[in-house]
Amino acid sequence: MYSVPKLSEWSAAALDAAVAELRTALSAEAGRVSGDKGLREFHDRWLGRRNGILTQINEEWLKAAPAEAKREVGQRVNELRTLVRETYARKTAEVELTQDADSILKTGKGTSVETDQQWVADLAKRQELVLRAQGVDVSLPGIRRPLGAEHPVIRTMNEICGVFRAMGYSVAEGPEIESDYYNFEALNFPPEHPARDTQDTIFLAGQEAKPARERLLLRTHTSPVQIRSMERQKPPVRVVIPGKIHRHDAPDASHSPMFHQVEGLAVDTNITFSDLKGTLDHAMKALFGSSVKTRFQPSFFPFTEPSAEVAFSCIFCGGKGCRTCKQSGWIELLGCGMVDPNVFEFVRENGYDPAKVSGFAFGMGVDRVAMLKYGIDDIQLLFQGDVRFLEQFG
Ligand code: PHE
C-alpha cells in the first residue's frame, strides 16, 4: 500500500514524479474495492480527516513547502483532491449499482440508488442493470447477422462475362420489359412469321391500341440488346449482355418460365465464322476446362445467317456417354451465327452498312451452366429461395 513520501526537492519534475506515483496507487487501490466494507476502507485511507492520504499530503507537501514552491505544490494538491473525490464517488456508484442489480435479481425490486451525484446517470451501467433484471446475460456472445452468398446464377453470369471481358468485351444491359420491335422486328422476325412461335412469348395485356411494334412483352431472349447496343455505339462493337428472360413454359426440373442468358455480339470489318468458332471454343475451355471439345451444328435463327447450335464434350464422362449428356457425349449450350445483313439494315444509319461490316452473335443459357458447374439437378432450386440450398454457396 501507498504511503506518502516526504519531499526533499521541490522542482516541477520532482513534484510531477510524486503525483504520478500517487495516481497509480490510487487507481490500483480503487480497482480492488468491492462491497460496503471495501468502500469504507478506501474512504478512510484516502479521505479520512485525521490521517487520510489527502490530509497527509496537505501536511507533508503543502505545509512543508518553502514559500517559493507553494503555488506549484498547491495546484497539484488541489488536482489530487478532486481526483480522489471523483474516484470515491465513482466507486460508491459502482458498489450501489451492483447491490441494486443483485437485489433486483433476487427480489425483483431494486434498492434505490438515486443520489444527487452526476455519476448516477451512467447510462450503460443502468441499461446493463435492466437487462440483467430481465434475465439477459450481456456477457453471452451476440447474435450474428449471417453474411449473404452470391447466388449461383449471378456467380455464373459474372464468370461468363469475365471470360469475355478478358478478351476485350464490355458489358451491356437492357430492359426486361421490351417492345415487339426490339424483341422481334429488328431481329428479322417479320410480323406473323412462324419463328415467333418458337419463343413462347408472354405479352403484356391491354396493348391493343398501340401499333404492333410498340407493344410490350417480357423479352424472350437477350438478343434485343444487340440492336440497342448498335444504336448506342458505332462499330466496332464487342459486348456481352447478361440478363433475365421469360418464356411461357411449364416449370419442371429442367424448365422455368424465367431464366437467364448471356448474349454476345462482335461487329467489325472482316469478322468471319472462324472468329466465332475460335472465340466460343476458347470460352468453352475457359468455363469448363481446357480439355473440352466444341461442336458446331447447323441451325436456324432469323437474326443470324448461317446459324449454329454449339455443344461441348461432356465434362462428366469425357464424351463416352452418360446420364447427364443423355448418352450422346455432348452437352448443348448455345445458339450463335453470323449477324444477318437484314439486322444491320435496322441500324445502317449508325455505321452498320452490311457491305462494310460483319459480325457474329451468340446467346447461352446461364442456368444450365450453373447447374452443370455446381451439380444441381433441378432448375427450380435456383429460384425457390430456400436458404438451405443457397447457404451452400457462401
Ligand atoms: N437468342 C437466341 C435464343 O434465345 C440465341 C441466339 C443468340 C442465337 C444470338 C444466335 C445469336 O435462342
3-state secondary structure 44-59: HHHHCCCCCHHHHHHH
Output the CA 297–ligand 1 centroid distance in Å.
Answer: 14
Nearest residue (by CA) to ligand 1, atom 10, is: 336
Report which ligand 1 atom has the smallest distance to the Cα of 334. 5
Per-residue pLDDT band for 112 (boundaries 50, 70, 90) equals low
Which has the higher per-residue pLDDT, 61 or 174?
A: 174
Mutate to test the pocket of ligand 1, among 197, 199, 201, 221 (most ligand atoms within 8 A of CB): 221
212-228 pLDDT per residue, tens: 899 999 999 999 999 99
Ligand 1 contacts CB of residue 174 (under 6 A): no
Distance 364 CA to ligand 1 centre (A): 7
| pLDDT tens readout for residues 11-49 | 888 899 999 999 999 999 998 998 899 999 999 999 999
Q: Answer yes or no: is the C-beta of 337 below 6 A from any ligand 1 atom.
A: yes
Residue nearest to atom 9 of ligand 1 (CA): 362
Residue 335 CB–ligand 1 contact under 6 Å:
yes
Residue 55 CB-half CA count within 13 A: 10
Residues 353-369, mean pLDDT to the nearest whole number: 97
Q: Is the pLDDT of residue 104 over 80?
A: no
pLDDT at 120 over 50: no
Confidence at residue 7, expressed as pLDDT on a 0 to 100 scale: 83
Whether 101 is in the pocket of ligand 1, judged by its Cβ within 6 Å, is no
pLDDT for position 108: 58
3-class secondary-structure state, position 365:
strand
Answer with the residue of higher pLDDT: 192 or 85. 85
Q: Tell me: the pLDDT tens digits for 135-171?
A: 777 777 888 887 888 999 999 999 999 999 999 999 9
- 294-301 and 358-365: which strand pairing? unpaired
Confidence of residue 119 (pLDDT cuts 50, 70, 90): very low
Extract the C-alpha cell encoding 386.
430456400
pLDDT digits (tens, 9 = 90+) for 256-300: 999 999 999 999 999 999 999 999 999 999 999 999 999 999 999
How far does residue 383's CA lie from ligand 1's centre (Å)?
Answer: 23
* 262 within ligand 1 shell (Cβ under 6 A): no
With a 6 Å cutoff on the Cβ, whether 360 touches ligand 1 is no
Three-class secondary structure of residue 306 per DSSP? strand
Q: How far is the CA of 263 from the centre of ligand 1 (A)?
A: 7
In short, whether 221's Cβ falls inside 6 Å of ligand 1 is yes
Expressed in angstroms and rounded, the spacing between residue 68 Cα and the centre of ligand 1 is: 97
For residue 85, report the distance from its CA to the centre of ligand 1, in Å.
83
Q: Which residues of 15-36 are buried (b: 16+ CB within 10 A; e: fewer)?
A: beebbeebeebbeebbeebeee
Residue whose Cα lies nearest atom 7 of ligand 1: it is: 363
Instruction: Check residue 369 and give its pLDDT.
Output: 94
Number of CB atoms found within 10 A of residue 159's CB: 16
Question: From the CB of 361, is ligand 1 less than 6 Å away?
Answer: yes
Q: Averaged over 73-81, what is the pLDDT?
A: 92
Q: One-letter amino acid identity for 107?
A: T
